[in-house]
Structure 1
Amino acid sequence: MKNVIVAGVGMTQFCKPGQQEPYRVMAANAIRLALADAGINVSHIEQGYAAYIYGDSTCGQHAFYDVAQTGIPIINLNNNCSSGSTALYTARQAILSGEVECVVAFGFEEMQPGALGSHWSDRENPFDRANAVYDKFGIPNAPIALRAFGAAGKHYMEKYNVTSELYAKVAVKSRSHAIHNPYSLFSTPLTVESVLNDKIIFDDYMTRTMACPPTCGAAAVILCSEAFAKKHAIKYGVKIIGQAMATDTQESWQDPILSVGADMTKRAAEKAFNLAGVSPQDVDVIELHDCFTTNEVINYEALGLCEEGEAIKLISDGDNTYGGKFVIGPSGGLMSKGHPIGATGIAQCVELSWHLRGQAGKRQVEGARLALQHNVGLGGAVVVTLYQK
């Protein structure tokens, strides 16, 4: 068994905290949409993989039970911001093992306003290791995500002698894509000046519109074997032709750029491309983990879209948008579409599937045949996935 098929996809409209339906409702709606899209019945689903980070144990069961209570295994996954793609990774492995033929991977989140923080102050924090590194580098104290990605962005600026205008340009690009996405949280155009003049949230350079907002929402995908897809006449199947997951190594702590996932992204990307037998230059459309615009810039290089230090040229040449080499973040990305953590990795798969199927509406990447997904979580884990029409 070589390839796993994305047979059906579905997602809810993302929204600000306080405006959402209960996670149970959002997730169940996304699952129903994915089932309808695949044209199959819930009785065909043999396992479920639920991704979320803010919720008690067995939230996945609570959500799936609204769709059906068929007694199948439901596995709950929490892998920080890469939880959604971890569900995809685990579900795909189950199919490749031959144990099952058809599964659902779904993610959801009900987030609270403000910066991310730990809910467990009575025990060791998994970010203690990272904070010790940032203390050594003299990085200003802040909530972990802001501190980590803020430090990485500042280090990149100093290393390559660029200004924060680079990150503002990426924010403007992302919002220009989101305008055409009916599922996006934000649709108001940005300018470089408006981004640079927005409220400073870290150090002396990072502004609010360089960071993604806390968001609520859900997404789901049906995965199946090629044999199942043929038997059930799956109409709009998309192949997963390469996928890899990586975590941190000792080298990840050598500088702030590596510590936010550039090191593990590079290793995962190289493995995924090797498995698929393609190169970064073959990719048409990309959903990248742009929780901060600094992370988008850094991962252009980590994914092999350009050489180290050449993200500046890639951006100035317009090779990250329509008409350039790659269309990166056609959905608007986490920056504009929103980042409901457990749903994010699944939603990236949904967006890329629509493009490969020619169903992305006004934001359609014409002729898209190869898509790349990048989803990273501090602490850490990254999943890189390649999809083919």
Structure 2
Amino acid sequence: MTKHAIVAGVGMIKFTKPGASDTYDKMGAAAIRNALTDAGITYSDVQQAYAGYVYGDSTSGQKALYNVGMTGIPIVNVNNNCSTGSTALYLARQAIEHGVAECVLAVGFEQMRAGALGSHWLDRPTPFDDFDTETDALVGNAQIPVALRYFGGAGKSHMEKFGTTLSDFARIRAKASRHAVRNPLALFNKEISEEEVLAAPMLWDGVMTRLMACPPTCGGAAAILCSEKFALKHGLSAKVKITAQSMTTDTPSTFEAHDMMQLVGYDMAKSARDAVSETSGIGPDDIDVIELHDCFTHNELITYEALGLCPEGNAQQFIADGNNTYGGNIVTNPSGGLLSKGHPLGATGLAQCYELTHQLRGTAEARQVDDARIALQHNLGIGGACVVTLYQAT
């Protein structure tokens, strides 16, 4: 028998541009302290910790956690590309549900460098060799940074299949900016129009402008998960629980479909969504609010369909009808998402958890989604892994 994990506390710091942040250990420690304060416990109550980061040396998690306390607990370092934060959350949730521990910390942090993402290990094969080979065959443009080719290529595939336009992607970016105006922790708080997004410098002619891509960012976020028994014993808030969660990795369709949408995780997301729906009995139509992985506007658009928020090929209409924002079917990325809030790789999944926890508590202030009771989180990493998490207000 398993038991649900309670999200007892969440914390994050405002994300910043590379070069303007504290070091990773200080950012991680600050996020942890915020989560402990939010939960109303001390670090000595924590029995295990999972620390997520992508760009860092081994045991960087210990370096961050030792700033908060040195209690001898197990600390596991996690690296799963852009889904790292949610992978740490996944492991923490498993520990609670299966009775391994009663109170577990998940933290994610990243101290990034300016510029496009790239490999730090040039003397060995990269995990992306097969992805790059397929991308070369499908879209070429080897002079464009790799992440842009992946997700721009996925958007291009959707354009060719369904007639999606550059304006559709621009509307997503404009929506993200309107949401971010309400979020004091977002990196970019200025509202921008669809026309401004389209007028930005073109990164890939006819496919993507600069404002359709999220920025490299530094930051930290954390969550305290505990059992219902622990919450009751210590008088902690049990208003938010994780009802279902699934992690998926690539299947042969990633490469055999010869489609950039599949290459960037469309099937991973769909499979994870299906597993969560099967476990919980809760479908896309029941969801009030979602934080999804909008590293590029193109990925947000195709993820609407992968997660079943609208039928395949209907994302254009979903956007045009305003069903992705306040007053529509489901508010997507009320935080401003990665596009406006920023994307420190290891912290992103836990920052999504932070936002959705506040939404379900009813404490999201100006960005609060009315009567939010059920929330979904989608966090994707190429290479690959996808984590989909379903939260409910209790």
Offset from partner CA, 1:252-311 (integer Å, 9 cap, x none) = 121101111111000000001111111110000000000000000000000011110011
Question: Which 4+ residue blocks in structure 1 deviate beyond 4 angstroms?
Answer: none
The letter for the 1-side match of 2:312 is E
Is the CA contact (8 Å cut-off) linking 2:228 and 2:238 kept in structure 1? no
Please state whether the residue corresponding to 1:126 is helix, strand or coil: coil
- Aligned residue for 2:104, secondary structure, equals strand
Kindly provide the amino acid, as one letter, of the partner of residue 325 in structure 2.
T
1:227-258 C-alpha deviation (Å, 9 max, x unpaired): 11111111253100010000111111211011
Contact 1:372 1:387 in 2 (8 A): yes
Aligned residues: 389
TM-score under structure 1 length normalisation: 0.99
What amino acid is the match of 2:370? E
- 1:97 aligned partner: 98
1:185 is displaced (CA, Å) by 0.3
Normalising by structure 2, report the TM-score.
0.97
1:22 Cα shift? 1.1
CA distance in 2, matches of 1:48, 1:144: 33
Q: CA separation in 2, counterparts of 1:53 and 1:118?
A: 11
Report matched runs for 1:281-300 at 5 Å. Answer: 281-300=285-304
Alignment gaps of 5+ in structure 1: none
Asked whether 1:368 is paired with 2:345, we answer no
Query: Matched residue of 1:171: which SS?
Result: helix
CA distance in 2, matches of 1:5, 1:235: 8
* Distance (Å, rounded) in 1 between the aligned partners of 2:4 and 2:197: 42
Aligned AA (1:173): K
Q: Secondary structure at the match of 2:264?
A: helix
Q: 1:137 — aligned with what? A: 138
Quote the offset at 1:95 in angstroms: 1.4
Paired with 2:164 and 2:315, the residues of 1 have a C-alpha distance of 11
Deviation, structure 1 residue 61: 0.2
The match for 1:166 is 168
Secondary structure of residue in 2 paired with 1:117: coil
Q: Which of 265, 280, 283 is residue 276 of structure 1 equivalent to? A: 280
RMSD: 0.9
For 1:109, give the aligned amino acid: E
Q: What is the DSSP-based 3-state SS (H/G/I as helix, E as strand, rest coil) of the residue aligned with 2:183?
A: coil
Question: CA separation in 2, counterparts of 1:23 and 1:238?
Answer: 28
**Residues 1-389 of structure 1: pairs in structure 2 closer than 5 A:** 1-141=2-142, 142-235=144-237, 237-253=239-255, 254=257, 255-389=259-393
By how many angstroms is 1:174 displaced?
0.5
SS in 1 for 2:81: coil
Deviation at residue 203 of structure 1 after TM alignment: 4.0
Distance 2:191 2:226 in 1: 39
2-structure distance, mates of 1:8, 1:131: 40
Q: 2:130 & 2:5 partners in 1: Cα distance? A: 36
Aligned 8 A contact 1:355 1:364 in 2: yes
Determine helix, strand or coil for the equivalent of 2:269: helix
**3-state SS in 1 of match to 2:334:** coil
234-243 or 312-321: which moved more?
234-243
> Could you tell me the percent identity over the aligned residues?
57
